[in-house]
Structure formats: C-alpha cells, structure tokens
Chain A
Amino acid sequence: MTISVENLETRQVDPTKPLLEVDRLVMHYKIKAGEVSAVEDVTFTVHQGEAVGLVGESGCGKTSVALSLMRLLPNNAEYVSGQIRLDGEDLLQLTDEEMRTRRWKDIAMVFQGAMNSWNPVYRVGDQIREVLDTHFRGQMTYEQQREHMERLFAAVGLPGEMLDRYPHEFSGGMRQRAVIAMALACSPQLIIADEPTTALDVIVQDQILKELKRIQTELGMSIIYISHDIAVIAEVTDSLGVMYAGKLVEYGPTTEVFARPKHPYAYLLLKSTPSITGPRRQLAPLEGEPPDLLAPPTGCRFHPRCPFATERCAIEEPPLADIGGGHRVACWHWEQVPDLEEALLR
C-alpha cells in the first residue's frame, strides 16, 4: 500500500484568512412538546488550512452544528438566527438548488455513522463516481473519473481494485478510508468529520486520524473534527471548541484549551477522559448528564453540575469572553478553575 497525495490538487493557504465564519448561530428543533434549543448562539471561525475541533458529551449539539453548516438538518429544524459565511457568502441565504451544488464540492462530510455511509447495493467506486457525475458533469470522461478515483484511493492507502468492490466486502477501517477518499473527490475547501473514528478500534482510529490530518495539511484543506473524546482530537487540531448543552462554552488554540482549560466543564471533561497516548491523569468524576434541551437550565447551562456554581450562575448567563490570546470562555468563575484540582483532590 502506497499512500500518496502528490497526484491530488493542492491549495495555497493563507492561515490568516477566514474560510468559514459561524456567526451567532441559533438553531432549534420543533417537536410536539416545544422547541429543542440544540444550537444556541454559537460563534467560531475556521481559517484556511485550519483544523478546528468540537468536543462535548453526546447530546450537546455537535452533530446539530455540523448538519447546520451543510444545511442538512431534518425537517423539524429551524434556523432561528445567525449567519454561516463561507468565503464571505452567507450559506443560509442560498436557494436549495444553489446549496445543493455547494455540498461536497465546497464542504464535504465524513459522518458519525460512517460505517453505514455506503449504500449496500452499489459498488464503492460507483458511489464515488456519482459525486463526480454530479459536480463535474460532462467535464470528465469515464476513464478520467476512474483515474481520479484511483488517485483518491491511493491517497488513503487503498488499492484501486477495491473500487469495484461492494461496501460489505470492506472492513470497518477500509470503509472509513474509502469515505475519506470520497470526501476528497471534489477537493473541497472544508471537510466536516463528525465522530469519524468512533466505531473503530483504537489502533485503526489513531492511524486514520493521523492520515486524515496529513492529507488535510498537505492538500491545504480546512477541517472540523467533532468528537466526544477530547484527547483524540486534541492531537490533530489547531483550535478547539468545547460545547455544552447547545452552547460553545470555551474556544481557543488547542494547546491552550488542552493544557489549561478554563471552563469548569472543559476541565472536568478533560480530566474524566482516560488518555492512552499522553501521561496518566488523575480521573475526576464528571457527575450527572447534559440537560434536556427542551427546557435547558437558566443562566449558565452547566450550573447544576458545576462545583463552582454560585447564585449568579443560575440567573445570569456568562458571555463567551476573550481572556487573551484568542482564548474565549463563558464562565463567571474561570479564574478559579486552577483551584479546582486542589478542591477535587481534597
């Protein structure tokens, strides 16, 4: 197996230029019982060539953010307010048909259920060809398509003959590699990877993440990694956002957030994740579960579970404030978090 991205188109990157700007995005699901506030006032920017991570327990709205960006939300979802700007253009203002032509060409996605991303009745190659047929209609001959797909497969370390196989003939890891190959098919500017390796075993998980990271940097793409496992994506991202109950509670350079988390939730989440690669950490309990977003807690949504919570936290919602160096935290007591460790040890 040779892995080469040399034959794929690479993009010139200006890391200071914003590619995707998510601006005060609010998205709710309407259900019989009321509105689920799944994405509440989320703001972050992905620059050219940047890898951004989103972490949080399951049910915190990460997938909802991802689907919002692609406008792939279920019918009961409603964009309440905010903008999603790709290269300065608000995706929410596009018509359905315009948005359809952007999908995969500008933003591709590797799904949470990537194991089942393949339609079982078609050959994998034909399912990739479908993308080329849609977005490069009439621009590629059948042979050129084949050649291109073989290059894509080479880039993710799969032999070209596998294109003629059916999905069930692939192992889990191979299927996921093939999904990544498909995501690269139109050289998108941005890839959203929602729990791309969650269902895989640890070794394969690690391999695939590293390869994805390498391909992404070499091709000059931006990427949004989504995971509930902070340790997994800390290794491959430049910036890291922590989501809790539909809100972004902390955002900043990965090194900062990972080494010195300032939001109590980020801190506890990090401490409660066992790390296989890093040094052994003290496991601290993160008790309870994320709230029901049909009726989220008032004030800071984390306050019922927070060891620092005061009366103010239950009433007033903390803003996502910059504490320097592009590090933003939504907590009234972020300065006390270093004390948390001591408090916990006692």
Chain B
Amino acid sequence: MIRFLARRLVQMALLFVVFLSIVWLLLQAMPGDISDTLVGNPDIPREVRFELRQRLGLDQPLHIQYITYITNFFRGEMGVSFSRYPADVSTVIWQHLPRTIVLFLTATVFAFWLGFKSGKLIAWGRGGRSEQAFILGGVFLQTVFYPWFAIVMMWVFGFYLGWFPISRFIDARLWQGSPYDANDLFEQMILSTLLVTVVYVVGRVLIKRFATTVTMEARLRQALVLVTVGGLILFWYLHPARTYVADIAHHTVLPVVTLGLVTFGATMLLTRSAMLETLGEDYILTARAKGLPDRVIRDRHAARNAMLPVTTSLVLSLAFVIGGGIVTESVFSWPGTGQLLLQAVMVSDIPLAAGILAVTGVLALVGHLVADVLYTVLDPRIRIT
C-alpha cells in the first residue's frame, strides 16, 4: 500500500509537471507579456514597467522562466493576478476555492448517495409503477441542456416561487455593517461540517464493531445521525452569527440542488443498470438459496457489487468540475473558481487563469488517486502492489 502510494505520488507529480508545462506554453503563446498591458496606462511610468518585468523575471531567457515558473508553483507561488493587481494569484484562488469545493462536494455527495439509493430500490422493485417515472426523470436530468436547466431552476425556485435567493453567495444588504467576514464564517461552517462528518464516520465504525444485535445497530445508527446532525444545527443555532450563517446556507441551496440533480439522474440510472446486472449473477441466486433476508441480498450482495461501476462514474464526474462549475457559478453568480476562471479569461488575466487550471488539475489528480484507493477497498480482486 505504502509503495503503491509512493509510486502513484511520483507519477502524479510527473503528470502534473507535464500539465503545468502545457499551461505555461499556452501562456507563452499569448502575444506580449503582462507588462505590455500596462503600457497604455498613463498612470504607470516606464520604470515601473521595467521593474515589474524584472520582478516577474520576464527579462530572463525562456528556459530560466520556465524553470522558475515550475519551481515557484511548487512553492505555492503562482504569480500576480493582473485584473486584481497587486493580489497574488494564490490568494485570489484561495479565497474562491472553498466555495467551489463546497458547492461541488455537497452536490456530488448528496447526488450520489440519493442516486445510489433510489437506483438500487427501483432496480430491486422491478416493474413498479414508479420505476417508469424515475427512469424518465433520470433520462431527462442526464440529457438536459445544463445551462438551460440551471436557468429554469433559478426561475422557478428563485423567481416564481421565491423560495431561494436568485444569485450570489450572500445578501449584501444583510451583511452591511456585519461584524463578521463572510469568508471566515464560511470556513468555520466547512470546518464544523467536516468535524461532524469525521465524528459520524468514527461513530459508524465503532457501532459496527461493538453492536451485538442488528436492531441495536440500527438504533445506534439513528441515534448517531440525530446527535451529529442535531449537534451541528444546534451549534449554529446558538452561534451569535446565526443570521449570517443562515444567509450563506440559504444561498447555497439552489446551486447545490441544481448541480446535484443532474448528477443524481445519471447516478440513479447507472446504479439501476449495474444493479440489474448484478441481480442476474449466480451469487445472488446462491444468496437467495441460503435463505438470507431480502434486505441483506439487496444491500449486502447486489448493491455492494453495483457500487463498483458507480464509483468509476464518480471519478469521471470529476472532469465535470470545470465545465459544470463554470455554468453553475455563472448562472447563480456564485463567486467560486469557475466564475473566476471565466472572468480571468475574459479580461486576459493569464496568470490567474493558468493558476485556476493548475489547481483544478491538482484536484483532479488527487481525486483519481482517492478513487484508485477506493477501488481496491471495494474490490478485493484489484490488488495494489
């Protein structure tokens, strides 16, 4: 396992350097350099431009620049954003990244969880009347033109029903004169959720280890859900910044649901077909012959094996992060990296755009690594050495 991880990390680093080089090449392919864009600005004297070139190392030969760029990147330095001068690219990204990650992670986790559950159930209860409705809905969600769908969602729930704010991350009027910083608060929200998740996972493991009967296990699990989720809600309810937190949460719902629904449809359909396939396997017949209860056959045997292709799709959906992110974030004016990338490209803020692409690349690579490890946990036939 350790050796596998070490080798994979080296591979990933090499792959990343290649990726970064391509990004850098694209950067070089742009005519001129950043300082050129300052030429037309009468407020900036010539000396500043030279100083800037020097400071940015743009007067160095190309190969030196290349090496500097790569090494700087690994030191976490991605240059200066042009459109937000003099802010660092890394600072700008760092501000926006949590929002994107939260948007995606929440949408993906819920979509996969629900999609898997419902796909499992409709495959198990074959021929039920709801099956057709679910399939139809799933196909619609999977094939719908996403930007259109996002706008429809926004129109229906934000405008027509008025349940959710139409756009942005916070309500500016509410936050005027607020003693809190939205980013800090958001980070605290993430941290508390992570903490609760860890507690939940540890709790589940402990329950599995120490529960003696099935009913006891089920009870404890319910209690655990109550304690963790209840605890989280209670904590923020008692928190002095509660209205602000509620505002952020309120703004988060619609983009998360919209993005999640699309993933949900695809996951459900995939789970259903994977499940139907496993249900035809010989070991399912064996499980039935063994007299196992239906629920055990469904969950422990059929669904467990249907998880393998669904995990694959989860990984592949990582590629969706960039595209889906840009669309969702643009439609909902969600200030994440997707929107940032779009803006950066539109105003030719090349360092920023390159930085975002690079970070996305890192995320995708890490996602693949996690998925590979997950595979080996899920399927003992896959060995890692």
Contact = CB atoms under 8 A, between A and B. Distances in A.
Interface string B273-296: 000000001110111111111001
B86 interface: no
**From B281, B291, B378, residue with most partner A Cβ within 10 Å:** B291
A130 B305 contact: no
B379 A103 contact: no
Contact of A103 (B213, B289, B381): B289
A192 to B, nearest CB: 9
Q: Is the interface of A mostly helix, strand, loop or mixed?
A: mixed
B368 interface: no
B380 interface: yes
A113 B281 CA distance: 10
B301 A119 contact: yes
A104 B291 contact: yes
Interface residues of B, number: 23
B304 interface: yes
**From B126, B285, B378, B379, residue with most partner A Cβ within 10 Å:** B285
A135 interface: yes
A115 B296 CA distance: 22
Contacts of A114: 282
Given A111-B282, A116-B282, A121 B289 contact: no
A166 interface: yes
B281 A130 contact: no
Contacts of A234: none
Given A121-B380, A168-B380, A168-B381, A116 B290 contact: no
A119 B283 contact: yes
A114 B289 CA distance: 12
A117 B283 contact: yes
B291 A134 contact: yes
Contacts of B300: 130
Contact of B291 (A102, A113, A121, A168): A102
A121 B286 contact: no
A100 interface: yes
Contacts of A75: 126
A131 B282 contact: no
Interface of B: 126, 213, 281-283, 285-293, 296, 300-301, 304-305, 378-381
Given A116-B281, A168-B381, 11 more contacts: A72-B285, A72-B289, A100-B291, A100-B293, A104-B290, A111-B285, A111-B286, A113-B282, A120-B305, A120-B380, A121-B379
The 4 A-B residue pairs with the shortest CB-CB distance, nearest first, are A103-B291, A116-B282, A113-B282, A119-B283
22 contacts: A72-B289, A75-B126, A100-B293, A101-B291, A103-B291, A104-B291, A105-B291, A109-B286, A113-B282, A114-B282, A116-B281, A116-B282, A118-B286, A119-B283, A119-B286, A120-B283, A120-B305, A121-B304, A121-B305, A121-B378, A130-B290, A168-B381
